[in-house]
Amino acid sequence: MFNYKLFCLEGGVIGFIAVTALVVNGNSDFFDAFYGGAVQSLRSPGLNTVVELITYIGNWQAITVICLLLLAFAKTRKTYGIPVTVVAILSHVLNRIAKMLIERPRPDAANMLIEQGGFSYPSGHTATAIAVFILLAYLVCKNMDNKKKAALCAVLLSALGILISLSRIYLGVHYASDVLGGFFVGLASFGAVGMYFYPYKKEKEKWRAKMRAKEQAKIDALEDVEVEVVDREDMLEDLQAQYDEDKKS
């Protein structure tokens, strides 16, 4: 069983270090200009409104409401509320620390479609959105019985996190490298919280138990078939014996 949470944690840390090195050394200009220009070339009055609505889902107010709602109900408090709240706080704290250490200025305000202050790197909206919505996607897949609906919900939640991230570039309040750095912060936060609440050893043992149960079910099904075949053979033998007796008489 692949330990994907450890992979996310390690990949997030390594990715963040790599992007940060490029930003600090001033080597991200081409990346920012290319991808920033590509995303902002899609701007239109109608799409601007939609993207603003999407980006507001990543605001701390909206994330706080989501956490409070999940914590408010007993059915979702332990399963969703606590881990999602922890990952939201962790990603926010890590993002604030990085911003204060790097102190990267925001892009030109003349190109912004909404007002935004503070430092630019990494993107806080991206870090929190990726951490929260990827964790929600994971929890939905883990807890929903209907796996098809769970997969659909997971795709939609993950897509929402990505759309919130891209909205920051579209609106001109972040460089593309800010969003990439925020993505790795969110990914690492998800990995850390996932490993804490759902240890790999326990999940591996549950997975093995599930596989053993499936194998046992197959064996039981085969045994049932064999018993049925034997019963049919016995029945045929009895019928044949009865036929032979009737024929003699």
Say whether both 178 and 79 belong to one domain: yes
pLDDT single digits (tens) 144-157: 888 889 999 999 99
Nearest to 186 by CA among 61, 20, 16: 16
Are 162 and 229 found together in one domain?
A: no
Split at pLDDT 50, 70, 90, the class of 212 is confident
Same domain, 160 and 84: yes
The per-residue pLDDT for range 80-94, each reduced to its tens digit, is: 999 999 999 999 999
pLDDT at 100: 95
Whether residues 84 and 22 fall in one domain: yes
Going by C-alpha positions, the residue among 173, 184, 57 that lies closest to residue 119 is 173
Model confidence at 181: pLDDT above 80: yes
Higher pLDDT, 230 or 179: 179
**Whether residue 193 sits in one domain with residue 93:** yes
Please check whether residues 148 and 105 belong to one and the same domain: yes
Together in a domain, 158 and 124: yes
Tokens of 28: 């991200």
Amino acid at 9: L
Pair 224, 135 in one domain: no
Please give the residue range of the domain that contains residue 166.
Answer: 4-198
Q: How far apart are CA 86 and CA 164, in angstroms?
A: 20
pTM beyond 0.85, yes or no:
no
List, for residues 42-57, the tens digit of each pLDDT value.
999 999 999 999 999 9
What's the 3-state SS for the chain? CCCHHHHHHHHHHHHHHHHHHHHHCCCCHHHHHHHHHHHHCCCCHHHHHHHHHHHHHCCHHHHHHHHHHHHHCHHHHHHHHHHHHHHHHHHHHHHHHHHHHHCCCCCCHHHCCCCCCCCCCCCHHHHHHHHHHHHHHHHHHHHCCCHHHHHHHHHHHHHHHHHHHHHHHHCCCCCHHHHHHHHHHHHHHHHHHHHHHCCHHHHHHHHHHHHHHHHHHHHHHHHHHHHHHHHHHHHHHHHHHHHHHHHHC
**Would you state the pLDDT for residue 232?**
67
pLDDT for 132: 97
Query: Do both 151 and 210 map to the same domain?
Result: no
Average pLDDT over residues 173-184: 96
Final residue of a structural domain among 155, 180, 198:
198
pLDDT tens digits for range 185-209: 999 999 999 999 988 776 667 657 6
pLDDT at 169: 96
Separation CA 120–CA 117 (nearest Å): 8
User: Residue 8: how many CA atoms within 13 Å on its side-chain side?
Assistant: 21
Q: Which pLDDT band holds residue 1 (cuts at 50, 70, 90)?
A: low
Round the average pLDDT of the chain to a whole number and report it: 88
Note whether 208 and 180 are same-domain residues.
Answer: no
Contact call for residues 130 and 188 (beta carbons, < 8 A): no
Q: Kindly report the CATH number assigned to the domain that includes residue 178.
A: 1.20.144
Amino acid 236: pLDDT? 64
pLDDT at residue number 129: 96
Alpha carbons 224 and 222: distance in angstroms, whole number = 5
Examine the domain organization and report whether 9 and 54 are in the same domain.
yes
Number of domains in the chain: 2
Residues 249 and 183 in one domain: no
